[in-house]
Amino acid sequence: MPEEKSRRVRVLAIDGGGIRGIIPALVLARIEELTGKPASELFDLIAGTSTGGIIALGVNVPAAGGAGATARPRWSARELADMYVSEGPRIFDASLVRSIHIKESHALMVRFEAFNSLNHPNWNVPPNDPRSPTTFGIVTSARAMRQIQIALKYTF
């Protein structure tokens, strides 16, 4: 009985991390450039968590009208990386954390977070009571707009 060669399964797991998803998108874009092939042809399985899942789906969705193993993906990793650059500040919240060591056992942590920093509207859900025809299905309010938080933490 001839021996069967075991086939290696190529798996790509992409971590999450919000706007930092641009990093694996750029790495994957470079791999695509070097090989001349889309990521969907280079790996048997591409998966990810959070923003990594968005990238995994993005490089696997077939182009319009395409289906099956020979279909080209709708987006290249480079196009996804470009989307992070153009749309990232609108989608992801910004944060900055800095630790400053004062003495051996003393430290100050400064944390700055901006939610909805570009101040796009966050509409509430429209009322769904059909007995109120004047407001049914009409957005009449919005959630909080831009929020900025600054925190200090001193440990000793």
- pLDDT, one tens digit per residue, over 28-69 is 999 999 999 999 999 999 999 989 999 999 999 888 776 665
φ/ψ (deg, to 5) at 135: -120, -5
- pLDDT, one tens digit per residue, over 4-35 is 677 889 999 999 888 888 999 999 999 999 99
pLDDT attached to residue 29: 96
- pLDDT, one tens digit per residue, over 123-141 is 777 777 778 777 777 877 7
pLDDT attached to residue 70: 61
